[in-house]
Structure 1
Amino acid sequence: MEQAKKPLRIDIVSDVVCPWCAIGYSQLAEALKQTNTPHEIHWHPFELNPNTPHEGRNYREHIMEKYGTTAEDVKESRARMTAAGSEAGFNFQFTDEFRTYNTFNTHQLLYWADQQGRMHDLKQALFVTHFVDNKNVADSTVLADIATDIGLDRTEALAVLEDQRFAAAVEKEKQHWQQQGIQSVPSMVFNERHLISGAQGIENYKSILQQLADMPD
C-alpha cells in the first residue's frame, strides 16, 4: 500500500501592511484549493516599515517618499493591486486617506495567537482589518477587538500588548529570517527547501504545487 505524502509545509514570511502579501496568500490559497493539496501553513514576522509612528502615515505620501514615485504611479499601483486581489478573492478598499501603520504589535499578538493554534485565523483577520476596514492595526484596542472576534480572550490580548512579553521573541524570529536572506515579502518557503518570492499568481502557484507534488520525499 502506498504511503500518503506528508502535508506540504509552507512557511510564509510577511507583514500585515504589505498588500502583495495579502494578494500572494490569496493566490496561493486558491491554488491549494484547486489542487486539493494537503498543507500546513506557518506565518513568520517581517516589518516593512518599523519606524512608522503609532498613528500611521498616509499610504500615498509614504510610497512616494520611500520609492520616489508620483501620485499617479501610486494610483496605478493601487489599481493593479485591487485587480489582482479581486481575482484571488481579496477585496481591497483603498481611499485617498488610506494609511499604513506600525506592525510590531500585530506580530506580538500573532505570536501569542500561535500558542493557541489561532495564528492563521488572526493573520487573515488582520489583513481584512487593515486593507478592507481601514483600521489602525497598531492600536491595542483595535487588535483586542480582532482577537475577540476570532474567539480569543480580550483581557489577555490587551495584557500581551501592554507588557510586550513577546517583543524579544518576535525580534529574534525577525532576525532569523533576515539571516536566511529574506529581504522582501511575501517570501514563501516550501518544505523548508524551496524559496518563492513575491505574489506569483494562481496559475503559477498551481504549477509550483504540481512540481513539488512530483518530487520524491
Structure 2
Amino acid sequence: MPPPENLPIVQIDIVSDVVCPWCIVGFRQLDMALQQQGVLARLCWHPFELNPDMPPEGQNLCEHIMAKYGSTAEQSQQARDKLTSIGAELGFAFNFDDDSRMVNTFAAHQLLDWAESVGRQHPLKLALFDAYFTAQRDVSDMDVLLEVVRSIGLDADTARQALESGEHIAPVREKQLFWTSRGISGVPSMVFGGKYLLTGAQGSETYAQVLQRCLSEAA
C-alpha cells in the first residue's frame, strides 16, 4: 500500500556491520521511534567492516574482544550480559556462548549490495542479524549466506553467482570509502534526512526527536 499523499518520508542512511550488536540494538530503537511517532522512513544500509583483516576461520568472540579492547574475560562477559538484557527489552535475542565467534563480513556486504539491486536489502540485513546473533551461524560461510537468502524468498543460485562473479567487490569498497572519508569510524552511524548524524545506539527518544526535526523542516 503506497503512503498517503504528501506525507513526508524521512531518508535514513545506516552505516553498519552485520556482526555489530549495537547496530541491531540501534535499529530496534529506531524502529520503535518510527512506530511510536507514526513516521514513514526510507532506510538504506551501507557497508562498514569492524574487522576487515579478520581471517576466514574467524576468532573466538571473547578472545577477540579482549585483544581488541584490552578488556578482561569478566568485562567481556559483563558486556555480553548487558547486550542480552537490552536485546530482550527490544524483542531481539542475543545468544552468546563460549563458542561464539567473530567472523569476516565482506561477503555478507557484497550480498547486501546485490540484494539492494533487487529491492530486498532491508529484509536480508535483518535476517543476517538474526542468523549471526540469534542462531549463532557463521555469516562468512557461503552455504549459510545462501540459506539466509532463501529464507527471505530470494533465489540462492542468483545470489551465489553474484558473489562468485566478484561484481559487487568494487561497489562495496567504494561505498565503504565514501563513508570513512566523511569521518565515519564506528557503527551504527545513522544519517537522517542527509543532514543529521547520530553515532552509536542512541535510544528511541533521541531518534524520535531527530525524526520530528526532519518532519518539521519538511513541512
TM-score bin, normalised by smaller chain: over 0.9
Tell me which of 50, 60, 68 is aligned to 1:66: 68
TM-score by length of 2: 0.94
Matches of 2:99 and 2:153, distance apart in 1: 30
Give SS of 1:44's match.
Answer: strand
Matches of 1:37 and 1:112, distance apart in 2: 27
Tell me which of 21, 24, 28 is aligned to 1:22: 24
Tell me which of 93, 115, 118 is aligned to 1:116: 118
Q: CA deviation at 1:112?
A: 0.5
Matches of 1:214 and 1:106, distance apart in 2: 36
Tell me which of 100, 108, 114 is aligned to 1:98: 100
- Structure 2: where are the runs of 5+ without partners? none
| 1:197 counterpart = 2:199 | yes
Partner in structure 2 of residue 52 of structure 1: 54
Give SS of 2:190's match.
Answer: strand
Partner in structure 2 of residue 10 of structure 1: 12
| Cα contact 2:192–2:210 (8 A) shared by 1 | no
| 1:159 counterpart = 2:170 | no
| Cα contact 1:57–1:99 (8 A) shared by 2 | yes
Give SS of 1:109's match.
Answer: helix
Q: CA deviation at 1:211?
A: 2.8
Within-5 A mapping of 1:143-154: 143-154=145-156
Matches of 1:11 and 1:216, distance apart in 2: 17
Give SS of 2:43's match.
Answer: strand
Give the paired residue count: 215
Q: Which moved more, 1:33-42 or 1:203-212?
A: 203-212
Give CA-to-partner distance per residue, 1:159-195, whole Å, 9 cap, x none. Answer: 1222222101100110000111111000000011110
Q: CA deviation at 1:203?
A: 2.2
Matches of 1:81 and 1:64, distance apart in 2: 16
Q: Which moved more, 1:188-197 or 1:163-172?
A: 163-172
Partner in structure 2 of residue 207 of structure 1: 209
TM-score by length of 1: 0.95
| Cα contact 2:8–2:215 (8 A) shared by 1 | no
Which amino acid in structure 2 is aligned with residue 186 of structure 1? P
Tell me which of 64, 75, 78 is aligned to 1:76: 78
Instruction: Give % identity.
Output: 46
Give CA-to-partner distance per residue, 1:14-40, whole Å, 9 cap, x none. Answer: 000000001000110111011110110
| Cα contact 1:135–1:142 (8 A) shared by 2 | yes
Alpha-carbon distance change, 216 to 147 in structure 1, aligned in 2, over 3 angstroms: closer
Q: CA deviation at 1:45?
A: 0.2
- Structure 1: where are the runs of 5+ without partners? none
Q: Which moved more, 1:153-162 or 1:174-183?
A: 153-162
| Cα contact 1:55–1:136 (8 A) shared by 2 | no
Give CA-to-partner distance per residue, 1:87-120, whole Å, 9 cap, x none. Answer: 2221111111111110000000000001110000
- What's the Cα RMSD here? 1.2
